Copies of this chain bind each other. A is one copy, B any other.
């Protein structure tokens, strides 16, 4: 009967790339845990088992997602100033990862890097090497920088609050659970810094980035 055939014809073809696009949309919209074979299949108008003709398994989908996100990270503009280009790369990495909050943990845990992931690394090393870093110092520097950026964003995307009042609610709840005498410095910082109007954890990023860049600059001239 032709019904099935017209349905199939009206449907965009299922393939690896379309599957990844759908997976990206689902992950962004409802979190990475909503990315299931059955869900992607439904989204593509197909049954779960059919996906295995286009993709080796879920792991390959996750690898593909990571590389999609890596590809989205805008490379730094060429600059004579290594500090500027390295800093740009770090900031672009962060903003991109914030758009795909599920991606940080995934990037670290995936096993086989895709082309975009390698390109991102290449870019980082290039900025440093062209800025005068020796090979070993560039290795130290890129490891330090990426560790900082990934570590920061990892914490940032997992914060259990999304605005100042939720933060206030959460911190005061924690403070009520424990006697103040037990964590004097923590409570002091909470009250006099974190709970001050205008505080946002994300603002710490630039301070830390400057710290790391300053430290890394010393490596260059070593």
Contact = CB atoms under 8 A, between A and B. Distances in A.
Interface residues of A, number: 58
B211 A144 contact: yes
Given A135-B193, A183-B122, A215-B211, A150 B160 contact: no
B155 A146 contact: yes
Nearest to A115: B178
Nearest to A155: B108
A83 interface: no
Contact of A144 (B141, B146, B194, B207): B207
Copies of this chain, how many?
Answer: 2
A27 to B, nearest CB: 15
Interface of A: 105, 108-109, 111-113, 115, 118-119, 121-122, 125-126, 129, 135-136, 138-141, 143-144, 146-152, 154-155, 158, 160, 174, 178, 182-186, 188-189, 192-194, 201, 204, 207-208, 210-216, 218-219
